[in-house]
């Protein structure tokens, strides 16, 4: 019998297509300024055996009234409680760009202490290892015109959105907050993860280089795999089927190693 879902779902978590009977869960963390809706297409591209749960940061969509911010300890608590509420199914964490670093910190937090086991897989996307040495540009305080030009260069925002003053009034505060978190982020020393790490990126993304992607191998006691796809920073928008296929294969391999069934 499937476990009963929590009576009061955490506001940090969104289920685009609930699959409580699925044997595995994928928690997805958005890019800077992004929201849970970025992962709305993912359930259709993944096999039914994986339920997608998108993480919603404050200051956007149904949390628009909350002050924006990134609290990795709180996010880890939300994921931990959700895993326990749904029967402690094996799970993976996926994060794109800023979300990769958030997922990394959440994976670290979930890998210690009591409660459900740590993740079966950590998947990081569009982000070099934080110790790779590449300086992060100071973006959070840029004048609006310069910040919009930077967003346009990434290619993830429709031109009409960047030209809509009312929409920008909603989008820019959480973006600036996320960028400020990124600028101040510095990982603390911690034991290497017990799960494998999968690294994804766009082949034409000039913000990440192969050595920085390969450096994620130093964060795991298991294997690390790097895959790149023919596109830019938001490669998954064009390569979603291929990305989800590879991600599902990596999770299945990780679960086989841990003794779980495909």
Domains of the chain: 13-257 (3.40.50.1820)
Provide the pLDDT for residue 257: 65
Higher pLDDT, 104 or 150: 104
222 is written with which tokens? 């298991």
**Residues belonging to the active site:** 97, 233
Report the distance separating Cα 210 and Cα 228, nearest Å.
Answer: 9
Report strand pairing: 13-14 vs 50-55: antiparallel
Confidence of residue 132 (pLDDT cuts 50, 70, 90): confident
* Res. 242: pLDDT tops 90: yes
- The answer to whether residue 206 scores a pLDDT higher than 80 is yes
d(CA 47, CA 49): 5
What pLDDT does residue 1 have? 41
Residue written as tokens 């990795």? 72
Residues 139, 149: contact at Cβ < 8 Å? no
Residues in the chain, how many?
262
pLDDT digits (tens, 9 = 90+) for 152-197: 888 766 667 777 888 889 999 999 999 999 999 999 999 999 999 9
**Does the pLDDT at position 259 exceed 70?**
no
Q: Is the pLDDT of residue 247 over 90?
A: yes
Which pTM was predicted? 0.93
Tens-place pLDDT, residues 4-63: 555 556 899 999 999 999 999 999 999 999 999 999 999 999 999 999 999 999 999 999
């Amino acid at each position: 019998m499937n476990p009963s879902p929590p009576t009061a779902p955490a506001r940090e978590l969104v289920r685009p297509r609930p699959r409580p009977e699925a044997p595995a869960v994928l928690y997805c963390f958005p890019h800077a300024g992004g929201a849970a809706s970025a992962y709305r297409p993912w359930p259709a591209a993944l096999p039914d055996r994986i339920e997608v749960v998108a993480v919603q940061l404050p200051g956007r969509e149904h949390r628009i009234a909350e002050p924006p911010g990134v609290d990795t300890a709180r996010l880890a608590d939300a994921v931990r409680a959700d895993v326990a509420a749904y029967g402690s199914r094996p799970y993976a964490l996926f994060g794109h760009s800023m979300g990769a670093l958030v997922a990394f910190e959440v994976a670290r937090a979930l890998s210690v202490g009591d409660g459900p086991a740590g993740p079966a897989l950590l998947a990081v996307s569009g982000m070099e290892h934080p110790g790779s040495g590449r300086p992060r540009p100071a973006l959070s305080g840029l004048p609006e015109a310069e910040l919009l030009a930077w967003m346009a260069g990434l290619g993830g925002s429709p031109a009409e959105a960047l030209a809509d003053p009312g929409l920008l009034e909603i989008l820019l505060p959480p973006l600036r907050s996320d960028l400020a978190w990124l600028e101040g982020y510095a990982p603390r020393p911690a034991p290497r993860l017990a799960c494998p790490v999968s690294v994804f990126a766009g082949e034409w993304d000039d913000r990440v280089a192969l050595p920085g992607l390969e450096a994620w191998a130093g964060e795991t006691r298991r294997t690390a795999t790097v895959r790149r796809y023919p596109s830019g920073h938001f490669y998954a928008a064009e390569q979603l089927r291929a990305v989800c296929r590879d991600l599902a294969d990596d999770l299945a391999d990780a679960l086989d190693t841990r003794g779980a069934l495909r």
